[in-house]
Structure 1
C-alpha cells in the first residue's frame, strides 16, 4: 500500500536507537531539501521518494546499517563506485553503516541518475 506523506516522522519514531533515528532523519531531510520536486511516500513500510509516480529511491533500516534502494539498474551503474568506497551492496540496495558518515555525493548521483533515466517512464518500477 502506498501513501503520500508530508514527513516521515511516524516511520522514524519506530527506530528504537536515537542515534540511528537521527541519522536517517538527517538523510531523509537532505533528500527532501535537495529534491523538493520529489513526492514523499510510505510504501512497503519504507520511506520512499517518487517523481511523476515513478520510484526514485527508498530507505530501510537494519541493526548495523540503513539501506538505500535505487533499483537494480542504478546498482549496476554505480557498483564500481560502491567497490571503490568499500560499500556493501546487493542486487537492489546499498548499505550505509550507522555512524559511517553518509556519502551524500554518491546519494545525489544515484538520485539524479534515476530522475534522468526514468523521466519518460510512467510505471512505478522499471520493467
Structure 2
C-alpha cells in the first residue's frame, strides 16, 4: 500500500494466478479503456494482471500520478 500525505494512492497484492493493483474505484473508472486495452481483468476497485501478461508500467505510472494529482487536497485516507 502506498500513500501520499496520509491519503491512499495505490495498493498491490499477489495471488497464485495474478498480481492485483488497487487505485480505488475512481482510478479504475478513469482508466477503464486503457486497462481493458492492456488486457487486464478489471474489478470495481482493482485490476488483475496475470503472471503470463506483460506489465504496462507506463499505465501504472499514469494511474499513480492521477491519484497523486487528484488527491492533492484530500485530507482523508480514502476518497469520499
When the two structures are superposed, what TM-score results if normalisation uses the length of structure 1? 0.61
Counterpart CA distance in 1 for 2:38 and 2:21 is 15
| Residue 34 of structure 1: aligned partner | none
4+ long deviations beyond 2 Å: none
RCO greater where, 1 or 2, for CA within 8 Å and sep 6 or more? 2
Counterpart CA distance in 2 for 1:85 and 1:50 is 25
* 1:56 is aligned to 2:38: no
Partner-residue secondary structure (3-state), 2:10: strand
The structure whose residues are more often helix, as a share, is 1
Partner-residue secondary structure (3-state), 2:31: helix
Counterpart CA distance in 2 for 1:88 and 1:99 is 13
When the two structures are superposed, what TM-score results if normalisation uses the length of structure 2? 0.95
Partner-residue secondary structure (3-state), 1:126: coil
Matched length: 80
Partner-residue secondary structure (3-state), 1:76: helix
* 1:103 is aligned to 2:62: no
Q: Which runs of 5+ in 2 are unaligned?
A: none
* 1:89 is aligned to 2:49: no
| Residue 118 of structure 1: aligned partner | 71
Q: CA RMSD in A?
A: 0.9
Larger C-alpha radius of gyration, 1 or 2? 1
On the 8 A contact 2:7/2:78 being kept in 1, the answer is yes
Counterpart CA distance in 2 for 1:89 and 1:110 is 14
